[in-house]
Structure 1
Amino acid sequence: MTLTTTLDIPLLADPADVAADPSRYRVLTGDRPTGPLHLGHYFGTLLNRVRLQRQGVETFLVVADYQVITDRLSPGEIAANVREVVLDNLAAGIDPDRTTVFAHSAVPALNQLLLPFLSLTTVAELQRNPTVKDEAAASGLASISGLLLTYPVHQAADILFCHGNLVPVGDDQLPHVEQTRTIARRFNERYAGGRAVFGEPQALLSPAPRLLGVDGRKMSKSRGNAIALKATADETARLIRRSVTDARRDITYDPAERPGVSSLVEVAALCLGVAPEEVATQVGAGGSALLKALVTEVVNEELRPVRERRAAFAAEPGLVRSLLADGAERASALAESTLTEVQDALGMSAY
């Protein structure tokens, strides 16, 4: 594989270029194990990961257990949540023979990169990062921890440890990719004499929408407003029945004026593979009750094979532990090689 190391490539990757020559790319993606993944993750990230994997793009998937404590006072059930996240990814189609799946805490060399990378980032830059501000506001914490403040630098270590050059993100995550590009450029200039130890990664924007939860707010594991991939058909039906809509009888697709109704329409459209307007026309004067019944039917049908695969994987004793151990071994070898490159550039290899 030949990784792109040109330092003047644009921030945004062209999906057509990725599809035309997948061997040029290496993806870094991941999840924080704060609970089971949900329908928003499925359409927003999981299907995109599986698509890239099938195209032949080499993929690394980090289960970011250290990042659980960036914005919360208690780590919660990290071990159980790591298992849930891995099972959800497997059920969606992630193949550990083609995608390296590992946990942060199992790859020490990756986390060591945080130290030199912090020297390339100013406090002012971190404080300006809009994603850090949003995470701090959403957490409800009275103050920002050092880990949350340096979260973008840890993400840069995630991306650069494997020389990842393609990062699938939503547009709200672009500041993290930009920070990573800045760190790569500064490392090359300051410590490597202009030699391209690191290339500047590109962001691959996801076309999927940001789905609302059943309470009308952004779908989130922590808010309890999401349809988990592992939910039963009956649990899914109960959640959809209590989804926030409005008093109008006719169904239209208007995200600005009718966010709750439009989010349900969008979910149905994603499951059916049609335009949202087509779903709205189909339901028409049937009202919210008919819309919710349709959404329940198509979501349960979409997730039925996912849930069946998930149950089969969950029944295999030791599967997740073995998979993560194998992934950590592969990731550690690459991280240690990268750390050696970094230490060589810093002049640390002579003693």
Structure 2
Amino acid sequence: MHTSTERRLIWLSRLTLLGTLLTIVVILVGAWTRLVDAGLGCPDWPGCYGRLLVPDGEHAALRHPDAPLDAAKAWVEMVHRYIATLLGLLVLSVLALGWPLRNTHHFPWSISVLLLAAIIIQGAFGAFTVTLKLWPQVVTLHLLGGLSVMLLFFWLHLRLTSVSEKKVIGAKCFNIFWGLAAGLLILQLGLGGWVTSNYSGMACQGFPACNGQWWPHMDLSEGFHLTQTVGPNYLHGQLHAEARVAIHYMHRLGALLLGVSLLMLWYRYRHNPSVARALVFVIGVYALQAVLGIANVLMWLPLWLALAHTAGAVLLVIGMVRAWWCVCLGER
């Protein structure tokens, strides 16, 4: 391998690791934006009241008289957009640096292109989040999109590292156990997004029972009605109490099923030291997530704890990808 190629691979590996970390920052700032009700701090996109910087109240009133300026919330929203823009520039840098290597054997060019597509779609969802006034479907997909971008950055980093170190990925690294665990993880992340986008975090009071009942009164059909009307402002949600209970309770059940699947996965690989260690980390993060989820309910959803719960979900995805990577490399 030529020295210039090696240097390029090293820089790509560094950039994709930076991209992974920066995506985590974007996800957490996005969660902060949502938790402090700043998602509509700027009523337009990509600017804020038509400006790239938050304007004064007089300009805001002339531009959007129906949306009074809250400068603090507007700045939270714009900081989120600035960091997301930086992330988009980083994706373009990765593609530009990887272009000369696109035909190199084992170079993951297709993942780089997929990453570009994901960041473009994610940007579109960012716009729709504002223009559709926090429509829960878009908010949930925006969260899943952020996690997808992070996953692609991290997977690309791992692939580039393997190319640099001349490691070969195994032909078979996926089975029914991974399919079950991955499917339940995606479902649980989606349910978590649906909980937060419909403001259902406190719909169930108490734990382990919900509102004093093991099977509470809930409206599943309304809670998971995915064709909600576009148009109303969904800040603070539009669903009635029993629909929110349904969303919250299904998230709890999803967490239980995910935990069982992770234990099954660990049992399957318990004799493989490398994979078993990686899965022990995943199970540890899952246990921490469960504790954080319970604490959020018992402590009435404090801001810092809700943000920590989002960080736990990010760490869970990273851990699962790392464990699967160990399987794909056939590490012992």
Task: Please give the range of the TM-score, normalised by the shorter of the 2 chains.
Answer: under 0.3
Higher helix proportion, which one?
Answer: 2
Q: Structure 2 length normalisation: TM-score?
A: 0.26
Q: Structure 1 length normalisation: TM-score?
A: 0.25
Higher strand proportion, which one?
Answer: 1
